[in-house]
Structure 1
Amino acid sequence: MAKEVERKFLVRNDAWRSRVSRVIAIRQFYLSIGADRSTRVRVSDGSSAKLTFKFGSNLPERDEYEYPIPLDEALSMQAFAIGSLIEKRRHLVSHGGYTYEIDVFTGELAGLIVAELETPDHVPDAALPEWLGREVTGDQRYSNAVLALSEKTHSTITALAS
C-alpha cells in the first residue's frame, strides 16, 4: 500500500511547456466509483495498462493500490466502464526536486488543463512553481472520477478551466 499526498492545481500559463521531459497519452475509465473509493483502468501510450484502487475521502491524502494488467484484458474491461472515457496527454515537468503531472484533456473534456503533484509529503506553497494557478485539491469537480460521470458540455468544462 502506498499513501499518496495528491494536490491539484489549475495552470496559470504555458511557462511549464518548455520544461516537459516526457508526454504520455492516457486513456482511462472507471469500473466503480463511490464516495470513498474507486476502481480505475488506465492505458498508457496504447502499450501498457494498470488497475488502480483508491480508498478514502480525506483529500489530499488517500490509500492507493496499483497493479499492472495485460493490455488485452484492460481493453476488454472497457465494456464495463461507468461513465465516459477520460482521454488526456500527461506532461511530466520537474521543478524543485518534484515531478508535476500536467494533464491536458482531449476528447469531451478538451480545454481543461490540471496540474497534479503526488508526493509522500506536503510541499510548502513557497516551493511551488509560478506557473501553477488556483489550487483545486478539495474541489471534487476536478476529480477524474467525477469528470467521467459528468454530463458536462465542452463549454462548461472550458468555463471550469478559466
Structure 2
Amino acid sequence: MGLEIERKFLVDPSLWSPQGEGTLFRQGYLSSAEACVVRVRLAGDEAFLTVKGATSGVTRLEFEYRIPREDAMVLLDMLCGPAIIEKTRYRRRFGEKLWEIDVFHGENDGLIVAEVELLAEDEVLELPEWVAQEVSDDPRYFNSNLMRCPFNSWA
C-alpha cells in the first residue's frame, strides 16, 4: 500500500530563487472528490496517472503509475476540462530531505509552495530559511482545489 506523508509550506520569494533547471508540470483531474482524486500529469517527458485518497493529518493513500505520454495528453485535453494546473518544479536538498518547490503559472501565478515527504507524521523537520508558513492543513493549497479556485481569485 502506498502512503504519502507530506508537509506543505509557502516559500518566501525574497529568500529563495531557482537553482538549475526545473521541470514543467501540466496536470488535470479526472475526479476530484473529497474522498479520492484521480490526477493525470505530464512531468517533462514523462506521464503519470495518480490516485490519492482523503488526507488524514498529513498522510493519505497514493498510487502512481506511468502511462504513455500520448495518453496523458489526450486525457488532459479531452477529459480534464479547461482547468489545468501548470507549474515548474525545482528540487533542492536541505539537510537529509529532498524538497520540491513548485512555482505556479497561469491563474495560480505568484504562488510558490514547497513540499517535503516524511517517513512519519511526527518526524522532526529542519526548515530552510526560505520557508515562510506551513499550509499543510489548509486545503486551499491542494492542487485539486487550486484547479477549482485558483490562487489569483482569492480575496
Partner SS, residue 83 of structure 2: strand
Deviations 1:126-154 (A, max 9, x none): x111210110001011110001112x473
Cα RMSD of the aligned pairs, angstroms, is 1.9
Deviations 1:50-109 (A, max 9, x none): 000001231310010000000111111121115610000001010011011110001121
Match of 1:130 in 2: 129
In the TM superposition, residue 27 of structure 1 has moved relative to its aligned partner by 0.3
Aligned equivalents of 2:144 and 2:119: distance in 1? 22
Match of 2:17 in 1: 17
In the TM superposition, residue 36 of structure 1 has moved relative to its aligned partner by 1.7
Aligned equivalents of 1:119 and 1:49: distance in 2? 24
Give the total of aligned pairs.
Answer: 153
Q: TM-score, normalised by structure 2?
A: 0.89
Q: 1:5 to 1:110 in 2, by over 3 A?
A: same
Partner SS, residue 114 of structure 1: strand
Partner SS, residue 121 of structure 1: coil
Match of 1:8 in 2: 8
Unpaired runs of 5+ residues, structure 1, are none
Does the CA contact (< 8 Å) of 2:109 and 2:151 recur in 1? no
Aligned equivalents of 2:151 and 2:146: distance in 1? 11
- The 4+ residue runs of structure 1 with deviation greater than 3 A are 13-16
Match of 2:84 in 1: 85
Structure richer in helix, relative to its length: 1
Q: TM-score, normalised by structure 1?
A: 0.86
Partner SS, residue 38 of structure 2: strand
Aligned equivalents of 1:120 and 1:87: distance in 2? 28
Partner SS, residue 17 of structure 1: coil
Unpaired runs of 5+ residues, structure 2, are none
